[in-house]
Copies of this chain bind each other. A is one copy, B any other.
Amino acid sequence: MIKRILKKSNLRISIIGLGYVGLPLAIEFSKKFTVIGFDIDHLRIKQLNKGFDRTKEIKLNLKKNRIKFTSDSKYLKNIDIFIVTVPTPVYTNNKPNLTFLENATTLIGKYIKDQSIIIYESTVFPGTTEEICVPILEKISGLKYINTNKRKKGFYCGYSPERINPGDSKNNIKNICKITSGSTTEIANFIDSLYKLIITAGTYKAETIKIAEAAKIIENTQRDINIALVNELSIIFKKMKINTYSVLKAAKTKWNFLPFYPGLVGGHCIGVDPYYLTYKSRKLGYNPMVVLSGRKINDKMSKYVVKYLINQMNQNNISIKNSKILIMGLAFKENCADIRNTKVIDIYNGLKKYKTKIEIYDPIVDKQQALKEYNIKIIKKLSTNYYDSVIIAVAHNSFKKMGIGKIKRVCKKNHIIFDVKNIFPENNTNLKL
């Protein structure tokens, strides 16, 4: 049956969700097959059809690709393979929000037929595909899930976690090894060969869907805990009056020391994925101490930055109320336009409580989106000799290029510059983590 699908020269793939994960995937597959790129966001579809990617990850060349971007679900008829790349965020209480995933699954359920294949790429807790998505697919479609070689009629599932690194031009979809998995041996092999067609770095076929799900969730959990450790160390060393970066530089001379640095952990991956794991773990009766301690530290770093700045301003005889503070960077990550779950917002809100006057400067992020999502007006130009304090919150290359001299010129004579990401040499700025 699968061999028949593979032989079809007119194999039709639909990518559901065209964010920073779905779009590059759709483009790669469209070089081999007909691709329907589906997203419920009409504005996004309109922009993509004009060749504009607001995530700034992809340069679109519409003429070259066999791809149709649409919000119209009628194009999901006669699709052989559905690939789900929708966001899996958390609610404000840090519980997994599977609404996008469930909605996408419900939609797909209406269009699958016998022998359809549904592959999930969204980050989920282990078990989500088979315990949450499959029942929806079965219910809506009336078809059976094929997870044994004995069953012949129904639909197959697979899980192949995305490993996109936003803002990283070196590690892209093609040259990052991709994990694959499928609900039967046969379909796992098929899914693996399918991805092999577009991933030059190769694939890794996991034993089960659950193992593939688990592998993805621990990757970001590991980064989270390692950043949490250096964040905690920076808090400890501040108390000991030791320069954290000097310590890290010295420690790095050991062959197996891992170079992590303090900072804010926001975005929709590292700061979110661990909560998916801890949610499921708690449901099974185990409260993860290590993972949650990391989340706790990283989530409170914004507050720490605010407290430390206010304290130092006070010590430097800068009166807090009505002081003018510039925050450089709103994106959740350097050289990235994405502002979802950025922790800079927590700094902004924290400073507001002190009745300071805050301006945010970020030349990369979408000004409309900042207004829409956070009601923040991003300034376009910096005034000279104007700010009492500057927080360099994000390590955008453009800030580095700007140089500390230019940043000092926007400040009043008595000022504080807090170089949160350590992008300038020590003696040029007053504060570091």
Contact = CB atoms under 8 A, between A and B. Distances in A.
A242 B297 contact: no
Contact of A250 (B211, B223, B280): B211
A177 B249 CA distance: 13
Given A211-B250, A219-B251, A284 B240 contact: yes
A207 B243 contact: yes
B243 A211 contact: yes
A296 B208 CA distance: 31
B293 A289 contact: yes
Interface string A193-230: 00000000000101110111011101101110110110
Interface residues of A, number: 61
Given A126-B242, A179-B250, A218 B233 contact: yes
Contacts of A239: 281, 284-286
Contacts of A255: 171, 176-177
A53 interface: no
A427 interface: no
A168 to B, nearest CB: 10
A371 interface: no
A291 B232 CA distance: 8
A207 B212 CA distance: 45
B215 A251 contact: yes
Most chain B beta carbons < 10 A, residue from A251, A289, A293: A251
Most chain B beta carbons < 10 A, residue from A177, A206, A208, A211: A211
B290 A210 contact: no
A199 to B, nearest CB: 11
Given A229-B291, A258-B258, 15 more contacts: A126-B242, A127-B240, A204-B253, A210-B240, A210-B242, A211-B250, A214-B237, A214-B240, A215-B247, A218-B233, A222-B251, A225-B229, A228-B290, A239-B286, A289-B293
